[in-house]
Structure 1
Amino acid sequence: MHLIQASSRFLKFAIQKPSGTRFQILNRLIRNPISGFERVYSTAAATMGTVETDVELLRKSVIEKQNIVEKQGDEVRALKASKASKEAIENAINQLKELKLELQSVSKELQSRLSEDSGGAMSKEAFRQAVNNTLERRLFYIPSFKIYRGVAGLYDYGPPGCAVKANVIAFWRQHYVLEENMLEVDCPCVTPEVVLKASGHVDKFTDLMVKDEKTGMCYRADHLLKDYCKDKLEKDLLLSPEKVNELKQVLAVLDELSAEALGAKIKEYGITAPDTKNPLSDPYPFNLMFATSIGPSGLSPGYLRPETAQGIFVNFKDLYYYNGNKLPFAAAQIGQAFRNEISPRQGLLRVREFTLAEIEHFVNPDDKSHPKFKNVADLEFFLYSREEQMALKSPIKIRLGEAVAKGTINNETLGYFIGRTYLFLTALGIHKERLRFRQHLQNEMAHYAADCWDAEIECSYGWVECVGLADRSAYDLKAHTEKSAVPLVAHETYPEPREVEKLVITPAKRELGLAFKKNQKMIVEALEAMSEAEAMELKAHLESEGKAPFQVCTLGQTVTLTKDMVSISKEIKKEHQRVFTPSVIEPSFGVGRIIYCLYEHCFYTRPSKAGDEQYNVFSFPPLLAPIKCTVFPLVQNEKYEVTAQLISKSLTGAGISHKIDITGTSIGKRYARTDELGVPFAITVDSETSVTIRERDSKEQIRVSVEEVASVVKEVTEGQSTWGDVLWRYPTHTTNTADD
């Protein structure tokens, strides 16, 4: 019994280790089952004990460094008060900055140790749970229709969540629409079926689904297989190298498995329904669009749009005219999209209604250079190219200009938007080291796409696709041109007329009418739609044999044409302009996914001064923060409250979102409440003439006159100055009141 209990504890320990360590532990155990086990388990226990000790040491180190920083801050204030030399003050400030960097480093290390995944998912789950608990408790978001037990995949944004979302969208507009002079449109969410039939969504916008054969519960088939493979690779210590390679291969080709192949793998691995362990049905396609009808008759079918892009494509002709018939130009749209997910999970990352911000940049297919590419060419960040992925290598940090020059990224315009996306995400607060751009593998690429990349952000769920950046060639405009019979094309006027060889196809409508009667029109359309290669092959066949078979797709049959039914030739003609279908570069932003990753990247906990309590903090940049500052009368005092109201009025006049807190709780608790909301600055009213401004992350305070406070907060929140700039200009403040 003792050995069985110890074995269970040992296996739990081993599972938490990286795969290489697991195999080393297992090998030692196999070589000497009893003594080997005892040695390994004693090492395991010692190691687990060391981890706990390290965390406690880091906690103590954070507290010690906080005290040192405070003492050095006192030293700086004393030097300023004594009017010491500029050199002495600057030396003291530089030393203070170094100490703060050390404190920040140790704090991050502590947070990392608390939330890191040491081989098991529990620590990541605990971190995620802490973030989500805080988000729901502070009403950033909540399940929709909560009093009716909610609906999976639907969420409401509360007041701070709405503010964060509005700030992200406002910055997106500034960063893209204004900077690039884009044409913004706002199209309906309800879309006629014919539009989505042309785009391919009606026929192809599907996921493979399986059902619990007893309860009818539905699951995404590829998710079940993916979870099974990952779980086996992470937790099964006895997998052979051959089985490991097999599971990795399944994960690599998962996206291209047919329904039959997916079903065969599910049966082979004995995968059952996660909730009931009941057998599953064979996979079958499920269209993810919400169907509806337009008008009371129900005769005009439609769908809630699965993306916002189609509204831009169908308006191309008018937008091109509005832009003076000039290329390149970009159109943008922000709005709701809808996907009827089979089994929504992962909170805000996979939902049924979400906000997309999409750009369609129309460009001459023969010239995809970008005049502003030089502005981003020197950016350096992680790219995960197709070659690195296939070789099972890690992403590499590379200069953007080099990646485009080498052809890793297909063209300058696509590269430019990748660079701008990097700047956008990092300005919001995404950590640079946890952001990468991953190139689509060949099996992920649509047949018409020239190149595709995803901006992926690492969070507790792993690497999450948040932005798609694709060169979609001319597919979308050609598809809508064919379906609507309205040419969605652009024109290029030549400086001088050019002689070009043109294919001329002339159907003999009389002979075709006599031979095929009512089918004549469809045959004529099929002849005129032939490519040059098809036309020349038909011409050769007719000339050599006098007749030829001809496939008419719209008829669903092959007809026989004779030589007198069509004339095919090439002629030299003079052209003054070229008519062509533009290519489109499409950056598509999942706003909700970006926001959730920001929540995780900005969340941390810090110990109180006593070290016996942890406080939650969202370190939102001022740009993103739902509330820019709070106003606290230090104590409940009528004069202080009047001053607080005057400050509130000046903040409102300056367009700064803020909140007044006149509750009787301690100032430390009020600071902690607003830190948890991510408020970057707190104004404490402790006199009628001047106030203190506290910065959230450093907890430093400066003293500012009541008349200046709004302008100081405004210049920092709008990025005109940094906190370091104002820290130098205004006297620092220390207080005996407990802060955190």
Structure 2
Amino acid sequence: MPDTTTLTSLPFDRTPFESLLKRRVFFTESFEIYRKATNFNGDNKGLYDYGPPGCALQANIVDAWRKHFVLEEDMLELDCTMLTPEEVFKTSGHVEKFADWMCKDPITGDYLRADHLVESVLEGRLDGDRRARSLAIEKEEKAGSDSKKNKLKAKDVEAMRLDDPTKQEYEEILAKIDNYDGPELGELIKRLNIRNPNSNNPVLPPIPFNLMFKTSIGPSAAASAYLRPETAQSQFVNFRKLLEYNQNQMPFASASIGKAFRNEIAPRSGLLRVREFLLAEIEHFVDPDGGKKHEKFEEVREVELRLLDRETQLAGQTDLRIMMIGEAVKQRIVDNETLGYFLARVRLFLQKLGVSMEKLRFRQHLANEMAHYATDCWDAELLTSYGWIECVGCADRSVYDLTVHAKRTGEALVVREPLAEPLEVEEWQAMLDKKKLGPKFRKDAKTIEDAIAALSQTALESAAATLEKEEKITLRLSDSHSDITLSTDLITISQVTRLEHTREYTPNVIEPSFGIGRILYSLLEHVYWHREGDVARGVLSLPPSIAPTKVLLVPLSAQPAFLPILRTLSRKLRALGISSRIDDSSATIGKRYSRNDELGTPFGVTVDFESVKDGSVTLRERDGMRQVRSSQEGVVEAIVRLVAGLETWEDVESRLPAFGVE
């Protein structure tokens, strides 16, 4: 593959790339024949099917993820239902808060995501300004040229020009676009005269749109439910069982891989914004005391990350801070070791997949874009032809999820650890006279007991002072109840000392969440290139470990004597778990290899007349098209070691004789 530093400096031509993906069926729009026949509207967009190479690539990425995280970190994997009762998402806050801001074009009926609308229009204006400045320079340098570019009317060029303060404002808005809430986006849309790019119509003010798909369970349709937008909640509600399975040892992590669903306002950009997608999520449960240390942090301390922190974004800048994660945690740019550990592990995982490190950055969430459950969050973003794309989110969810589920269900989602020495604890305790409480309040008695039990130590101390002074306290149960007054004959509140033999705490949660489809698409852009001078000869330089097919087996011609050798090689490779494919078509050897370069197949084995004589075969490497020759056993051994990452192609060339030049 050409030097990636050269590739990153060149504009990415999406046309031949998308043609390759479509022609080789990496993925395709779902129900495409119906889309053509019945004119599906925009509401049916954002649904995709993976073809054979895309399916294999996705499976290999997931396999690499399991080995890198689940196996390496000894995680507890779950496979949970995609249907979730409404009450669970009410408790987690998703029903109320899992929303994006949406604008509507009142004339065409188009729905537009507000932040994307502002982003696309301002980027378009900045692009126009750059083009206008470029044309002005070109006109000065090539006075009198009849170039088509110079045939633009002077007034049209001038209309695209932005004055310096406006240009600076647009750039600052784009740098912190994720920090604007709905009213702020509405103000920007109005003040900057931002319209629907498809119609040039003004749009209505932004309103929140919940992204979850609602459904019902059972024939009566009385039980409301949602298709999950994440796998996390099932992991949280199973926390107690996981803790017991882990023999009550902390810290530990659970993991889950499965489909998630989000009713995107305006799906776009292929696999980058879809309504059904594969998520791989980790919930790492950690003791909040001690600064959220991680026992393996020293192993990653010197991993270098490219960071775009919150302060830089709020200053309207996008400059990256390149530093080792150990230094980033020391300076509290990244809050704690556990969060830093997973950021480094995410970087190493993406590097293993073949992602360009020059096109990877970690961006810290701004306050307004933070999910309702998060106290801090960093996104691993990959640069594509569509811009920077969030592919992995690493959030510190603190105690939010376990706390709200415990409060709603009454289940103790806590860790209890025996103390080496008993600890004296002073606390406020409330005692109710239940013999009097029941007859007086009847059906409300249990509600009163629960309300008193839920009072914090601070609230109990305040209530004790009120009770001593006024000989009564007033309790607000809920909006549906009147205030309840309890006098000293019904309740007493006093401070007591007790011995505590166990420590009880609610774990904090660090969550790395991986969008597999986004990673897959971004990776394909990063590894795509074409042979010099021939855009039709596209190549996907996928690492051998995740390539859909590892080996192409090709006979030199249609000689019957070649077939037994091909079958033997295929059988040996399959037995070793290495996917291979025989191409015995009538196309030339070069054409057959070229077709498989497009699929990312890293190695090729050619069977020829020498193979019949002495059993030797040639082994070809995809990117450099170099070849070596050896016995079948020697070539198979080399393939096994190359796919496992135990050898590089240079290692193979150093011990096996070179063969010809392609």
> TM-score, normalised on structure 2?
0.88
Residues 723 and 253 (structure 1), Cα distance of their counterparts in 2 relative to 1, 3 Å cut = closer
What are the within-5 Å matches in structure 2 for residues 453-468 of structure 1? 453-468=378-393
Q: 1:366 aligns with which of 289, 309, 313?
A: 289
Whether contact under 8 Å (2:93, 2:372) holds in the other structure is no
Whether contact under 8 Å (2:180, 2:369) holds in the other structure is no
- 2:314 aligns with 390
Whether contact under 8 Å (1:640, 1:685) holds in the other structure is yes
* Structure 1 position 514, deviation (Å): 6.3
Residues 203 and 557 (structure 1), Cα distance of their counterparts in 2 relative to 1, 3 Å cut = farther
* Structure 1 position 619, deviation (Å): 0.3
- Give the 3-state SS of the residue equivalent to 2:368 in structure 1: coil
What are the within-5 Å matches in structure 2 for residues 640-719 of structure 1? 640-686=562-608, 687=610, 688=612, 689-719=615-645
Whether contact under 8 Å (1:522, 1:555) holds in the other structure is no
Residues 96-129 of structure 1, C-alpha deviations (whole Å, 9 max, x = no match): xxxxxxx944x863x456x42xxxxxxx4xx223
Which range moves more in the overlay, 722-731 or 399-408? 399-408
Q: Return the letter of the residue paired with 1:707.
A: E
- 1:266 aligns with 189
- 2:134 aligns with none
- 1:170 aligns with 63
- 1:542 aligns with 467
- 2:25 aligns with 139
* Structure 1 position 437, deviation (Å): 1.4
Residues 255 and 541 (structure 1), Cα distance of their counterparts in 2 relative to 1, 3 Å cut = farther
Which range moves more in the overlay, 562-571 or 331-340? 562-571
Alignment pair present for 1:633 and 2:581: no
Which range moves more in the overlay, 193-202 or 267-276? 267-276
* In structure 2, C-alpha distance between the alignment counterparts of 1:369 and 1:258, rounded to whole Å: 34
Residues 575-626 of structure 1, C-alpha deviations (whole Å, 9 max, x = no match): 110122111111111101111110011001112xxx4665100000001110
Alignment pair present for 1:334 and 2:257: yes
- Give the 3-state SS of the residue equivalent to 1:552 in structure 2: coil
Greater RCO (CA < 8 Å, at least 6 residues apart): 2
Gaps of 5+ in 1: 1-102, 117-123
* Structure 1 position 495, deviation (Å): 0.8
Q: Return the letter of the residue paired with 1:157.
A: Y
Q: 2:300 aligns with which of 376, 382, 385?
A: 376
* In structure 2, C-alpha distance between the alignment counterparts of 1:333 and 1:376, rounded to whole Å: 24
- Give the 3-state SS of the residue equivalent to 2:531 in structure 1: strand
* Structure 1 position 683, deviation (Å): 0.5
Whether contact under 8 Å (1:522, 1:554) holds in the other structure is no
Residues 308-367 of structure 1, C-alpha deviations (whole Å, 9 max, x = no match): 111111111111111111111111100000001111011101100000000111111114
- 1:285 aligns with 208
Q: Return the letter of the residue paired with 1:384.
A: L
* In structure 2, C-alpha distance between the alignment counterparts of 1:258 and 1:444, rounded to whole Å: 8
Q: Return the letter of the residue paired with 1:605.
A: H
Q: Return the letter of the residue paired with 1:383.
A: L
Q: Return the letter of the residue paired with 2:266.
A: S
- 2:544 aligns with 622
User: What fraction of aligned residue pairs are identical, expressed as a percent?
Assistant: 48
Residues 538 and 671 (structure 1), Cα distance of their counterparts in 2 relative to 1, 3 Å cut = same
* Structure 1 position 448, deviation (Å): 5.4
* Structure 1 position 415, deviation (Å): 1.4
- Give the 3-state SS of the residue equivalent to 1:443 in structure 2: helix
* Structure 1 position 256, deviation (Å): 5.1
Residues 148-199 of structure 1, C-alpha deviations (whole Å, 9 max, x = no match): 1173101100000011001000011111111111111101111111111111
- 1:431 aligns with 356
* Structure 1 position 245, deviation (Å): 4.9
* In structure 2, C-alpha distance between the alignment counterparts of 1:225 and 1:658, rounded to whole Å: 48
* Structure 1 position 724, deviation (Å): 1.2
- Give the 3-state SS of the residue equivalent to 1:472 in structure 2: strand
Which range moves more in the overlay, 471-480 or 247-256? 247-256
Residues 261-313 of structure 1, C-alpha deviations (whole Å, 9 max, x = no match): 43343333333333333343332222111111111110111111110111111
Whether contact under 8 Å (2:429, 2:460) holds in the other structure is no
- Give the 3-state SS of the residue equivalent to 1:732 in structure 2: coil
Which range moves more in the overlay, 339-348 or 130-139? 130-139
- Give the 3-state SS of the residue equivalent to 2:369 in structure 1: coil
What are the within-5 Å matches in structure 2 for residues 108-507 of structure 1? 109=6, 111-112=7-8, 115-116=10-11, 124=12, 127-149=13-35, 151-236=44-129, 238-248=161-171, 250-251=173-174, 254-255=177-178, 257-367=180-290, 368-391=292-315, 392=317, 394-446=319-371, 449-507=374-432
Alignment pair present for 1:595 and 2:520: yes
* In structure 2, C-alpha distance between the alignment counterparts of 1:347 and 1:708, rounded to whole Å: 42
Residues 613 and 445 (structure 1), Cα distance of their counterparts in 2 relative to 1, 3 Å cut = closer
* In structure 1, C-alpha distance between the alignment counterparts of 2:435 and 2:161, rounded to whole Å: 76
- Give the 3-state SS of the residue equivalent to 1:344 in structure 2: coil
Residues 161 and 654 (structure 1), Cα distance of their counterparts in 2 relative to 1, 3 Å cut = same
Q: Return the letter of the residue paired with 2:192.
A: Y
Residues 144 and 501 (structure 1), Cα distance of their counterparts in 2 relative to 1, 3 Å cut = same
Which range moves more in the overlay, 382-391 or 684-693? 382-391
Whether contact under 8 Å (2:285, 2:508) holds in the other structure is yes
Between structures 1 and 2, the one with greater helix share: 1
Q: Return the letter of the residue paired with 1:148.
A: Y
* In structure 1, C-alpha distance between the alignment counterparts of 2:210 and 2:167, rounded to whole Å: 33
* In structure 2, C-alpha distance between the alignment counterparts of 1:238 and 1:195, rounded to whole Å: 52
* Structure 1 position 561, deviation (Å): 4.7
Gaps of 5+ in 2: 130-159
Residues 108 and 467 (structure 1), Cα distance of their counterparts in 2 relative to 1, 3 Å cut = closer
* In structure 1, C-alpha distance between the alignment counterparts of 2:647 and 2:327, rounded to whole Å: 33
* In structure 1, C-alpha distance between the alignment counterparts of 2:535 and 2:17, rounded to whole Å: 17
What are the within-5 Å matches in structure 2 for residues 65-144 of structure 1? 104-105=2-3, 109=6, 111-112=7-8, 115-116=10-11, 124=12, 127-144=13-30
- Give the 3-state SS of the residue equivalent to 1:378 in structure 2: coil
Which consecutive aligned stretches of 4+ in structure 1 deviate over 6 angstroms post-superposition? none
* In structure 1, C-alpha distance between the alignment counterparts of 2:592 and 2:300, rounded to whole Å: 43
Residues 244 and 519 (structure 1), Cα distance of their counterparts in 2 relative to 1, 3 Å cut = farther
Residues 503-546 of structure 1, C-alpha deviations (whole Å, 9 max, x = no match): 31334456655665544433332232122223323333333344
Let me know the Cα RMSD of the aligned residues.
2.3
Residues 393 and 595 (structure 1), Cα distance of their counterparts in 2 relative to 1, 3 Å cut = closer
Whether contact under 8 Å (1:381, 1:432) holds in the other structure is no
Residues 216 and 495 (structure 1), Cα distance of their counterparts in 2 relative to 1, 3 Å cut = same
* In structure 1, C-alpha distance between the alignment counterparts of 2:585 and 2:87, rounded to whole Å: 59
* In structure 1, C-alpha distance between the alignment counterparts of 2:484 and 2:118, rounded to whole Å: 46
Q: Return the letter of the residue paired with 1:327.
A: M
- 1:578 aligns with 503
- Give the 3-state SS of the residue equivalent to 1:165 in structure 2: helix
- Give the 3-state SS of the residue equivalent to 2:544 in structure 1: coil
Whether contact under 8 Å (1:354, 1:592) holds in the other structure is yes
Which range moves more in the overlay, 165-174 or 381-390? 381-390
Whether contact under 8 Å (2:359, 2:383) holds in the other structure is yes
Which range moves more in the overlay, 350-359 or 571-580? 571-580
* In structure 2, C-alpha distance between the alignment counterparts of 1:612 and 1:437, rounded to whole Å: 35
Q: Return the letter of the residue paired with 2:407.
A: E
